[in-house]
Amino acid sequence: MNPFLFNILLAIAWMMLVGEITAGTFAAGMVVAYLILWFSRSAWGESRYFSKIPLVIMFVLYFFKELIIANLKVAFDIVTPKDYMEPGVIAVPLDVETDIEITLFANFVTLTPGTLSIDVSPDRKTLYVHALYVKDADRFRNELKNGLEKRLIEVMR
């Protein structure tokens, strides 16, 4: 059986044992059942279900950390009268390939304050990004590729 299906069944069992049919107990059951399945993961053989969920959670946490740091940076620039900005439009070569990966990557780049994705080249190999803080174009490229893009590829493949 598919581990995800089993996870849902266990969550329903949890809901019945607790005796409350609410979305809250279902969510708690999903978490508990996932932990139980995770401890018995060797019995399931090769399944992406166990390796992907922690990666997704790590990705979300990483993303929110970046979101808050970058927001504070831009906020500091807005409240202080002096401009620290060094904006530029940077061509970032893409390792992500499919439509959904490129869309997600461009969306996450735009959501991080200080960066705004402008266009993808027709051959889908380059993403053009407008950024507020470009000290050095190559360093900026590396940070984006080794941070967000690497993690996104880990999650998606």
Q: Which of 155, 35, 137, 154 is nearest to 92 (CA)?
A: 137
Q: Which of 53, 42, 24 is nearest to 154 (CA)?
A: 53
Closest to other proteins by CB, 44 vs 74, is 74
Residue with tokens 């490229």: 141
- List strand residue ranges (DSSP E) for the chain, in order: 88-93, 115-120, 126-131
Closest to other proteins by CB, 86 vs 95, is 86
Q: Which amino acid is at 75?
A: A
Compute the least distance from the CB of residue 37 to other proteins, in Å: 24
Compute the least distance from the CB of residue 2 to other proteins, in Å: 25
Contact residues: other proteins, CB under 8 A: 22-24, 67-68, 70-71, 74-75, 77-79, 83, 85-91, 106-108, 110-119, 121-122, 126, 128, 130-132, 134, 137
